[in-house]
Structure 1
Amino acid sequence: MRYPASITFTDELDADAWLAEQRRAIRTGRWVSPEEQPFTVATMPTLSTYADTWITERPIKESTRSHYRALLRNHIDPVLGRRRVDLLDAAAVRSWYSKLDTGTPTARAHAYSLLHAILRTATEDGLLEANPAKIKKAMRTERKRDVVLLGPAEIAKLADAMPQQYRLAVLLASWGGLRWGEVSELRRRDIDGTLIRVRRAVRYQHSKFTVSSTKSFAGRRDVHLPSFLSAEMERHLREHTGPDDDALLFTDEGGQLPHHRFDPIFAKAKRSIGKPDLRFHDLRHSGATLAAQSGYTVKELMERLGHSSPVMAMKYQHAAEERGKELAERLGALAKKPRKSRTTK
């Protein structure tokens, strides 16, 4: 059977190039007959239309879907939205990426990651020969600030500086490596002595709370706290938690505790211990680093922190190794100090 090109070529070289590409596609098994192709030139969707369908069909949380739509609306559509998917090329993607605001590196990386994923599916659907989003390291974002790590004594000082009903939040984030959304959704039924069952997380967005499963499947985990926190847990449950199994550990006027209500309290405490740049999420990093220093393997760190990838766990182990080297050097420095000579009578 003969299949004509979908367009009429005005140049013989262009026609030959098209024919050579079809033959290459047949040899490599990529060729699809017009009857099997989901789109024709006349029905080929714009990137905006294709991306909207892509987001709708993803098996993702509604909060993630909302985030994707915001990225599409604010960062991708204004420049690339009206282009036909099959006409997108590497030059167009590079030009779009160069115009993204470098002052918001996280949003920039997320927007590029979303575009890359959408175009990867378009490639699998046969709309593109190859993914034109191939800018190296564009999906990464460089940390703009250093993480503030606390040692055990500093964690204790910070907890002491907090109001009694919130000091356990600091200890759970630090010694348990819990995220804020996990800490603020903990309920009495999730606590069994010093065992924390992390099953849910809460998100405060658009002036309302949304409770869902953890950030990822790996985030659903059991976290064992050090036994010295046993008394802290018992006191908090006795004095600051309702009797029902569903009672929240940390509340704001009986309801969920939003981050913006907790932040001023936390800010006052961190300033009082001389750590004004500390973020609540840094406590999770502190806990992870302490766990690595105590001997947790990469797999054990992944399970404790709820990570799907070993990358972050390996970073914590590296930080622990560096700390070990530093302490060894301090130890060695003691040997270099001049000793007082002993005098004999």
Structure 2
Amino acid sequence: MLDTTGSRPSEPDTITLNQLFERYLPLVLADVAPKTAYAYQNAWRKRVSGSLGQLPVVGITGLDIRMAWTGWDGVPSTKTDALAVASKTLSVAVDAGLIRSNPARGLRLKRKPGKSPAARALSPDELDAFIARTPEGHYRRIIVALAYTGCRLGEVAGLTRADVDVERGLIRVARSLSPDPTGKLVAGDTKSHRDRVVPILMQLLPVIEEAAEGKNPHDLLFTGPRGGALDSGNLTRSIGLQVWRDEVRVYPPGEPPLHLHDLRHTALTLMCRAGIPAPDVQRIAGHSSLAVTQLYARGNDESALRAGERFGAFLAGQQRKSTL
């Protein structure tokens, strides 16, 4: 198979995975969304390149990939990205006739069980403190939108005035802004690849009205002070989150500090605590399965509190009987 320059790979027995990735990068990323391509390239640079990249392609085994997996750091999704991009690169090697089969395909690599996302949720008082710490104006409006819709930052950043139906109290979430491989924010599908609607809370309504003032239907609703879209890094720096976040919430040792995505965890957890049925929360959140949504419901304390009250009352009753 010819590479993108029109010539065959030289020294096929010694070409490394890094060399193959660089040579066939357009093919590796040809069928993925821009935000996925960005994630894959980061995963390659931070994990695959150093662990597998120097190995000759013809000698890479499933055991090599398993060993690399155990050494990769990061949350499970980043390790999955690393495995996916390594597998796609090895598939190109199969197409090029360098190897007969892809050693990464079919591997069942277990993730470490993740903690409930509800454990990352802020209490109502902590959420109020987070919002109060955010500078008023453009930045606070974005933070309030994240906290009261449960949307991801890219989804909030991609909202236009036309997506908001104030009369019906609904927001249509139809796109997400995310960085492409060059770092430029581009519009793409939501993570679920489906449109969905979220409610406009009464606490959010005045914020939407402020954000929409003077804008045309297809103007971005939530922007920075200069009218541009914001990504996670820019927004984190702009509100000084790294400076004051420990004053809002400190997580146990070994867990990452408070970050913007915890506002989504907060919103979905509080929805469950408010008694909203899990299927409704699933549709609002855009989760692929009800099992994901139930991770937020399982983090509630109400069941344990009810059980403790009834169990305690039962034992107290038994103890009274024994004294009679």
Quickly say closer, same or farther: Cα 1:192–1:280, change in 2 above 3 A: same
2:175 is the alignment partner of 1:200: yes
Q: 2:239 maps to what in 1?
A: 265
2:255 is the alignment partner of 1:280: no
Q: 1:155 maps to what in 2?
A: 127
Higher relative contact order (CA 8 A, sep 6+): 2
Tell me, yes or no, if the aligned pair for 1:199 and 1:220 is still in contact at 8 Å.
Answer: yes
Quickly say closer, same or farther: Cα 1:103–1:285, change in 2 above 3 A: closer
Q: 1:319 maps to what in 2?
A: 299
* Separation in 2, partners of 1:270, 1:70: 26
Tell me, yes or no, if the aligned pair for 2:120 and 2:262 is still in contact at 8 Å.
Answer: yes
Count of aligned pairs between the two proteins = 290
* Separation in 2, partners of 1:270, 1:130: 43
Find the residue that maps to 1:251 and give its secondary structure: coil
- What are the residue-to-residue correspondences of 1:92-171 with 2, within 5 Å? 92-97=64-69, 100-102=71-73, 107-116=78-87, 127-128=100-101, 134=107, 136-138=109-111, 142=114, 147-165=119-137, 166-171=139-144
- What are the residue-to-residue correspondences of 1:40-79 with 2, within 5 Å? 47=17, 52=24, 55-56=27-28, 58-73=30-45, 75-77=47-49
Deviation string, structure 1 residues 44-93 (Cα, Å, up to 9, x no partner): 88655766368536421233224324434554355545766565433333
* Separation in 2, partners of 1:73, 1:161: 35
* Separation in 1, partners of 2:30, 2:279: 29
- What are the residue-to-residue correspondences of 1:304-315 with 2, within 5 Å? 304-315=284-295
Q: Highest CA radius of gyration, 1 or 2?
A: 1
- Letter aligned with residue 251 of structure 1: G
Q: 1:290 maps to what in 2?
A: 270
Quickly say closer, same or farther: Cα 1:69–1:260, change in 2 above 3 A: closer
* Separation in 2, partners of 1:308, 1:231: 31
Match for residue 90 of structure 1 among 57, 62, 81: 62
* Separation in 1, partners of 2:49, 2:61: 16
* Separation in 2, partners of 1:298, 1:115: 36
* Separation in 2, partners of 1:333, 1:227: 38
Match for residue 185 of structure 1 among 158, 164, 188: 158
Find the residue that maps to 2:121 and give its secondary structure: coil
Q: Which runs of 5+ in 1 are unaligned?
A: 1-41, 339-345
TM-score after normalising by structure 1: 0.64
TM-score after normalising by structure 2: 0.67
Q: 2:188 maps to what in 1?
A: 213
Find the residue that maps to 2:120 and give its secondary structure: coil
Q: 1:23 maps to what in 2?
A: none
Identical amino acids, percent of aligned pairs: 22
